[in-house]
Structure 1
Amino acid sequence: MTKVITRAAACGLLFASLPDAGAAGFIEDSKLKLQLRNVYFNENFRDEQGLSARAAATAKSERTEWAQGFLLDYQSGFTQGTVGFGLDAMGLLGVKLDSGRGRSGTGLLPVHDDGRAADEFSSFGATAKARFAKTTLKYGTLLPKNPVLVYNDARLLPQTYEGTQIVSNDIEGLTLTGGLLDRQKLRDSSDSNGVTPDGYSGGESGDFRYFGGEYKLTKSLRLSYFNGELENFYQQHFFGVQHDLPLAGGVLTSDLRVFDSRDVGHAWKGQIDNRMYSGQLAYSHSGHTVGAGYQKLSGDAGLPFVNGATVYSFSNVGIGKFIQEDEKTWMVSYAYDFGTLGVKGLNFSTRYLSGDNGKSGAAGQAEWERDMELAYVIPDGSFKGLGVKLRNYVYRSDFSRGRDSNRIYFTYDIALW
């Protein structure tokens, strides 16, 4: 507890030392928010698929941890003038509440060489920013979220990146984004490392460059294109189309996504040549949303993505990703918003995915997953923003260990300024 208080005080001093901009917008438009995250994570393994006999003999039968996260987020306004300047800052702290050498590795906390989870871990990041008209340039700690790179925020603390990003909304209906990133911190680490692709064990890393945009052709039709390149590893093109169609008192949403990925440079030369086609239909009416989709990969190797990142795919679910070479996946989902019945803030969702024909060391392998989630956020009153989320995942595979997972999240957003 002494460590927590000391680090909290240090974060307070850092925020207090932000420069007095002497301009109304910088201070008046500033926001300071504290988010509390309390996460319990339990995962039980049900088989030893994908493990050698030697590895299976010593493999953990479960992973169970409990941790508390603190996210302090400061965002300044902009100084007045033709070009406005500002400064953002973020302090992150994770504290172990329960773990063990035989139960670590959930992704909530760093793991030491002896197999034990760290008692706590923390990081601090600052971002300088400038705005001209409707274009904003940022340099420093970033949380990129676009089809070719989505930061991971599925555990205790978010994954962060270091670099430069520019976003422009100067053309009506069009949002343009570009960036260059050279460092990252994983969601369960305080260490800053180079950017590498998932599954790569070599020592080389590269800069990640991305650019693209989304255009609202009409109120109901959106088109998007993005290009991402991880230096020396791969280049990826993304094309997307989203359309909303009023239908029988509800809305039918269609979402089509295409990824085209090729190797570049020398680290993965000749190993990546992949196309992924995804489509999903979702119909919403009176609080109910029913969805169905299909996804197919072709070419050599699976879909490449940055280590630790979230894949912009309908199939990036609780445990599996369903992006193996040549894999074909069917998806169905259902969600209900209890606000329709007068219970604001309460939501339920479930989904099922079945993939086959994947190649992960052998052809024709299959996997499936069923996820359920019940979430509630207090919408009004003194405890507005206090939320609880219950998640249950069941996963089975021909090439990876089957598992059952239960996760509980308590969150509370507190506006300090």
Structure 2
Amino acid sequence: MTKYKLSAIALALMTSVPALAASQAESNGFVEDSSLDLFLRNAYMNRDYGDGEQDKAEWGQGAVLTYNSGFTKGLVGFGVDAFGMYGYRLDSGRGRAGAGGIDFFMIDDDGDVERDMAHAGAAVKARFSKTVLAYGDQRPVLPVLSHDDSRLLPEAYTGTMITSNEIDGLTVHAGRFHAQHRKSDEGRDSGGLRQIEVLGGSYQFNDNFRTALYASDVEDVLKRQYVNLNYVLPMDQADTLTLDFSGYRTKQDKKWDNGEGARNNLWSLSANYAWDAHNVTLAYQRSSGDTGYSYGFYQNQGEVGDGGTTIWVANSFWSDFNAEDERSWQLGYGYDFTQYGIPGLSYNFAYIYGTDINMGNGERGGEREIFNQVKYVVQSGAAKDLSVRLRSSVLRTSNGYAADGNEVRIFVDFPIDIL
């Protein structure tokens, strides 16, 4: 797992709800603590498959306007969060768009790709002390319910979430959601989710050691538990060694799993050593049990409903290396060009090799991926914080496990603080 991904996961665990760490006693008011942000994304994805599989490509422009109010003053503060999203299709790759591929836009009843898409949502919230209760449309970022923001527009969920920080270093989440808005569809309940319940938290013991424990229950689909241990060991001359363990245990519901009730265990252990502008990652990942790891949209059974990025393990790139009985190893490298006078420019590389995939016919399959990403973030001026990210993956498989493919992603993101 690369250093930037470890940092993103740690931040997400501690800050999944706006202003959640603040105390109600510190409230300046509904308007005074409010914010209004516009996020623009121009996204292009292309997947060039082998073995005769249909290639996929889409290009679109998205915009997400987000308003987060402050809390009214008093013992209990009240507020409102709202968002509006719009996506416009620039190109559908000459028939290579639609669900099952890139999934920027849905295909309508006539077989045509939708020209655009719009969706809006809001949530009311209340805060007592350092505990926030929110009900409505939300975008949770948890290891057992993580909304997908890897395409043009993000997913959203409708339901209730409690986030508490009453104990220093401890963040607790409890929630129940009854509707899922797909990233490529306008419908509030387009994900087919019946209900998902989540419970868990993370605890920062000190500056170096953090742990997390979460569980979820997707009604009539599956039950899942997650554990994470993360330790940062300071070295000489500001070097650091980061050790991370992440693991899932899943039991699928018999109603959803054709009466099988299959189980899966998926875990990863990674070590990241960072010095000067460099960081190197070594990781091992293991999937075991009766089936592979299911999340987001699972092709055989249909929707899972826990979000398209709910797989917080080390070897999750284009492939997640999460097939039945799969073992995978990763060698990763990252470089920050700041010391060469180009602050904001970074490069990340990873080679992941997977073996022992149970093909169900007595054969064992394998896969390997070469991942490259170059990212530049503008540091100052009118375009400050605008980022350009170029990502490519080369995926090759063996023994007919899946189709080979080459993937290219170009994302231009521009967050703008309006208020």
Q: Closer, same or farther in 2 for the Cα pair 1:393/1:177, shift >3 Å?
A: same
Q: Which whole-Å CA distance do the structure 2 matches of 1:76 and 1:384 have between them?
A: 24
Give the count of matched residue pairs.
375
Q: Which whole-Å CA distance do the structure 2 matches of 1:89 and 1:193 have between them?
A: 17
- Name the structure 2 match of 1:290: 280
Task: Determine helix, strand or coil for the equivalent of 1:28.
Answer: coil
- Name the structure 1 match of 2:198: 210
- Name the structure 1 match of 2:17: none
One-letter code aligned to 1:314: A
Q: Which whole-Å CA distance do the structure 1 matches of 2:40 and 2:268 have between them?
A: 35
Structure 1 runs not aligned, ≥5 long: 1-22, 49-58, 197-204
Alignment of 1:123-202 (within 5 A): 123-193=119-189
Q: Which whole-Å CA distance do the structure 2 matches of 1:263 and 1:46 have between them?
A: 32
Q: Is the 8 A contact 1:100 1:116 kept in 2?
A: no
Task: Determine helix, strand or coil for the equivalent of 2:29.
Answer: helix
Structure 2 runs not aligned, ≥5 long: 1-26, 298-306
Range with bigger deviation, 183-192 or 127-136: 183-192
Say yes or no: does 1:252 pair with 2:241.
yes
- Name the structure 2 match of 1:406: 408
Task: Determine helix, strand or coil for the equivalent of 1:222.
Answer: strand
One-letter code aligned to 1:224: A
- Name the structure 1 match of 2:389: 389
The offset of 1:279, in angstroms, is 0.3
Q: Which whole-Å CA distance do the structure 2 matches of 1:382 and 1:267 have between them?
A: 51
Q: Is the 8 A contact 1:298 1:325 kept in 2?
A: yes
Task: Determine helix, strand or coil for the equivalent of 1:27.
Answer: coil
> TM-score w.r.t. structure 2 length?
0.85
- Name the structure 2 match of 1:56: none
The offset of 1:258, in angstroms, is 1.8
The offset of 1:45, in angstroms, is 1.2
Range with bigger deviation, 263-272 or 217-226: 263-272
Q: Is the 8 A contact 2:181 2:191 kept in 1?
A: no
One-letter code aligned to 2:388: V
- Return the match for 2:58 from 60, 65, 71: 65
Q: Closer, same or farther in 2 for the Cα pair 1:252/1:260, shift >3 Å?
A: same
Q: Is the 8 A contact 1:104 1:116 kept in 2?
A: no
Q: Is the 8 A contact 2:254 2:261 kept in 1?
A: no
Q: Deviations over 1:156-214 (max 9, x none)?
A: 10011111111111001111111111111111111233766xxxxxxxx5311111111
Alpha-carbon RMSD across the aligned residues, in angstroms, is 1.8
- Name the structure 2 match of 1:225: 213
- Name the structure 1 match of 2:321: 322
Flag the structure with larger Rg: 1
| Identity between Structure 1 and Structure 2 (%) | 34
Q: Which whole-Å CA distance do the structure 1 matches of 2:391 and 2:37 have between them?
A: 26
Q: Which whole-Å CA distance do the structure 2 matches of 1:155 and 1:145 have between them?
A: 16
Q: Deviations over 1:318-349 (max 9, x none)?
A: x2111111110111111111123332111111
Q: Which whole-Å CA distance do the structure 1 matches of 2:224 and 2:124 have between them?
A: 29
Alignment of 1:65-104 (within 5 A): 65-104=58-97
Range with bigger deviation, 269-278 or 25-34: 269-278
The offset of 1:82, in angstroms, is 0.7
- Name the structure 2 match of 1:46: 50
Q: Is the 8 A contact 1:195 1:306 kept in 2?
A: no
> TM-score w.r.t. structure 1 length?
0.86
Q: Is the 8 A contact 1:104 1:115 kept in 2?
A: no
